[in-house]
């Protein structure tokens, strides 16, 4: 193993091996992050049909929640059957027939990495990932001698990246 002599060598060695360790995790986050950009389209989604019995006499809002459909809107009611964009719901029997467009199983699991809440089993991985990324940001400033041209140029690029990110946040 490499010898740690000072803060600079500690940062460089830790940055190197943590980077190798995190490579797979970062690849999954990168791919799923790009896919999430297109979640409002049908890109890679396949239509899946559902036919299930749920509670009877649900309101429009309750029905949307039960079927996990955002912005569900009833378009028509005929003989106790509610019609909505992708299906029907029988008020008397609770029979719901509808279709949903969903991502393939593996891609859906990958995109859930970005949506994890503190109660989810993935939350420790998300926290670890965020801490590691922050470490990479800090440790990258120990990669070069502070008097070298690459370091000075790197600081300028880091400041430019920070400024661009802040501008884009407020646009």
pLDDT of residue 39: 86
Q: Does residue 40 register a pLDDT over 80?
A: yes
pLDDT (tens digit, 9 = 90+) per residue, 119-143? 999 899 999 999 999 999 999 999 8
The 3-state DSSP class for residue 65 equals: helix
Q: What is residue 142's DSSP assignment?
A: G
User: Is residue 95's pLDDT more than 80?
Assistant: yes
- Average pLDDT of every residue of the chain: 92
Percent of the chain, pLDDT > 70? 99
> What pLDDT score does 1 carry?
63
Tell me the C-alpha to C-alpha distance, in Å, between residue 59 and each of 63, 82, 158: 6, 10, 52
Query: Has residue 111 got a pLDDT over 90?
Result: no
Q: Cite the DSSP H helix spans in 38-148.
A: 60-66, 105-115, 123-139
pLDDT at 50 over 90: yes
Is the model more confident about 140 or about 114? 140
Section 85-109 average pLDDT: 93
């Amino acid at each position: 193993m490499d010898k740690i002599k000072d803060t600079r060598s500690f940062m460089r060695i830790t940055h190197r091996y943590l980077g190798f360790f995190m490579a797979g995790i970062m690849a999954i986050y990168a791919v799923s992050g790009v896919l999430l950009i297109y979640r409002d389209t049908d890109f890679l989604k396949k239509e899946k049909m559902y036919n299930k019995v749920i509670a009877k006499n649900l309101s429009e809002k309750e029905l949307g929640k039960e079927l996990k459909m955002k912005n569900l809107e009833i378009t028509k009611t005929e003989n106790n059957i509610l019609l909505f964009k992708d299906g029907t719901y029988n008020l008397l029997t609770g029979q719901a027939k509808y279709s949903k467009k969903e991502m393939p199983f593996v891609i859906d699991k990958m995109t859930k990495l970005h949506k994890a809440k503190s109660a989810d089993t993935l939350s420790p991985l998300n926290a670890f990932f965020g801490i590691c990324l922050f470490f990479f940001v800090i440790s990258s400033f120990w990669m070069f001698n502070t008097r070298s041209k690459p370091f000075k140029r790197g600081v300028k690029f880091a400041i430019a990246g920070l400024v661009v990110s802040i501008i884009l946040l407020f646009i």
